[in-house]
Each structure stands twice: as C-alpha cells, then as structure tokens.
Structure 1
Amino acid sequence: MDLLATSEGQLFIGVAVGLIAVGGAYVLFSSKKPKVCLDPENFKEFKLVKKTQLSHNVAKFKFALPTPTSVLGLPIGQHISCRGKDSQGEEVIKPYTPTTLDSDVGYFELVIKMYPQGRMSHHFREMREGDYMAVKGPKGRFKYQPGQVRAFGMLAGGSGITPMFQPPEIWNGGVGFVSKEMIQAHCPAPASDIRVCFKLRKKYR
C-alpha cells in the first residue's frame, strides 16, 4: 500500500472509501499547453485571493496562479510543500494536497484544519487575503503512469480526507466507519494489477 500525503482539512466524520477512476483526472488540452507553475527545487510565491471560513477551525484558501490559463502542475498522487512561520517566528515546512484538480486553471485551493498548537496551523490562521504563500513541488514517491494498474482502491479519513474532495460531487463510494464489509463492497479485490492507497491522519501541525 502507498501512503498519500494530504492537507489538514477535516469536514466529514468517519471515513470515505471508494474506487477512483484515475484516468478520469486527465484532461486533453488544445495545442497550446498551459503554463506549469510548480518548481520541485525552489519555492515560489502564490497570492492568497480568497479565504473562506468553513467552520470554527477549518478554512478554504484559494491561491492565484500567475495567469488565468496557468495550471499548478501537480501529477496524480503527488503533493506540495508549503513554507511558513510558527508563533515563535521559526520557519516550518509541511506537505499538503490541494482539493482542486490539476486541470483547474488560474488557481488552486487548500482546505486546512488549524490546530491550536499546530506550527503551520498558526501561519494559515494568520494569513489574510493578499498575503503570499511559498510553495514547492511536486513531491512524493507515488507516481502514476497510465495503464500502471487495472484499478485503484482508495481509503481516506480524519485529516486525510482532503484528497477525496477531488472526485466528482456525485459520489457513489462508501461513507462511514471503515469495516470489512465496506472495503469488500467498494474496493477492488487483491491482485497483482490492483493498488490500494490509504490516508488516515490525526497528526497535529
């Protein structure tokens, strides 16, 4: 099983389990390819254009890309690193997974749960529209290639739920506490051409 890095968002109680058609995340573009913004070696600054409070400690952060036709450049299964400062002014770097698709042009979004003692949570809590976030990527050991496997099974829960925000709004996978019956109903059976990925995270940031 491969571990997928994720952001801190937590909007659902329990665990979402489902089979994801990974190939559906690819979009065919016209002859002019959109500009890719991420740099795996260097941090780049992105402007916060909208901050939406979703609950008392969860917010959605929308960051603008350089042009309306730019894409972040984040392959399936990869994540980004965000750099900020904690309450003591010390630098902190943490991994996150956007809730938007890489086919979304002109912006990307993060859903963040801000913990009281979280070091990076402090930075996000203090961010205001117009501020800039330093981002580097893509990062991660998981690299999907078309035809790599016949099917994926994906389980996500706790603050690991945010990668699951990228499937369509019409969700026909399972929702609730993970059980043997749920996994059997929604995930593909074990085989050499099957891969199951999971993210269940409670770590403070």
Structure 2
Amino acid sequence: MDRRGFLAAGAALALASPATGRPRPLRLSLLGQALIEHAPGAWPGREALAVRLARGDVVFTNLETVIQGLNAGAPTRELLTLHAAQPEVLSTLRSLHLGLIATANNHAFDLGPGGIRDTVDALRAAGLPSTGSGADLAAASAPAYASSAAGAVGLVAFATGKVRPGGAATADRPGVNELRRDAAGQPFAEDVERILHAIAAARRQAQV
C-alpha cells in the first residue's frame, strides 16, 4: 500500500457512517501547530480568537512543545531548535477552547523519553485529551476522544519522517506513534495495520 492508498483507507474508516448518528452537524475547528513556550497575557486579537473558537464543538491542534516536568531528560537537539515549556502554557490552550491534542511530531522527543511522559501527564492533568505519544506504543497509538453536544470525536495521531533516533515508541519505551517508511517511501505494513486498527476502533466509539 502506498501513501495515497493508506490515507484513503484511513479516511474511509474515519468518515464511514457509525451505528448511531450525531444529533446535528459537528462544528470542528482545525488549528495548525501550537508551538508555545510561554503563557502570555493579553495580546492583540486573543479575545476575538477565543470567541470565534468557542463557537465550535471541538477545537484541535498539534502540540509541538514538550511540557517540562520531573522526568525531563537532557535536550536531544540544539537549544536553538528546542521547544519546551512549563505546564502553565496549557492554560492558554484551554482559554482558547482547545479540546483535542495531537502530540506525534518531530519535537515530542526534545527532552527524551521522560519529556514524553511529562507532556502526556501534563495534558491529562489539564483535562486535554491527547494522542500520538505515550508511555509505550500501545498508549501512543490508542485513540483520544473529545465529547461534544454534536457527538464524540475520535483522534488518531502519528508522525512520519524526522522522528529522532530513539523517539519512536516501542512495546516497552515511551515515544511517538511512528509510521515508518522504507527507502522507496513505502509505509511499513505493520505500522499501517496498527494505525488503521486504531482508526477503526475510534470509529466504533465516536461519531467522527
């Protein structure tokens, strides 16, 4: 299966009609990366943005910052490209009504396996559902769910390319849910199977 075929299969699983319909059309806001390192106060346009996002049922972003905690290890990259923050930044995401977070990206491993654990723990403590990284491969690949008045939304997140050595989750190591590709660019069959299985599981539990 090539990349296009994989994406098509995932989309078909995600969008197929579930057993129970949602009460009304879902209003879903999809934001780009949240590469946030400080918890700023008021800034121009923030209030208007929060009001706009509050109109949606679920707001999604990809968190490209490691949340520092007691388990954080030494930086795995140069400080110029290191992205880490204290848990307080998550209050900014909550104030903008973020409700579903992906953590599978090339910065998730910036503070090593301990940084993976700290980030997931901080998101859980903040009440922000997340997926894409975790204590092991099963946790990193498991769907996350956000509830809303229009029904539940399930998310499966993975990264392909630029995952640092040691950054991929394994059966007994924290890391990112990685979709590996061979020299020809073809996805590894076992990764495809795992991700499509997770999408199918999300479809059984969520309306979208």
TM-score band w.r.t. shorter chain: under 0.3
Q: Which has the higher strand share?
A: 1
Flag the structure with more relative contact order, 1 or 2, with Cα contacts below 8 A and sequence separation at least 6.
1
Q: Which has the higher helix share?
A: 2
TM-score, L = length of structure 1: 0.27
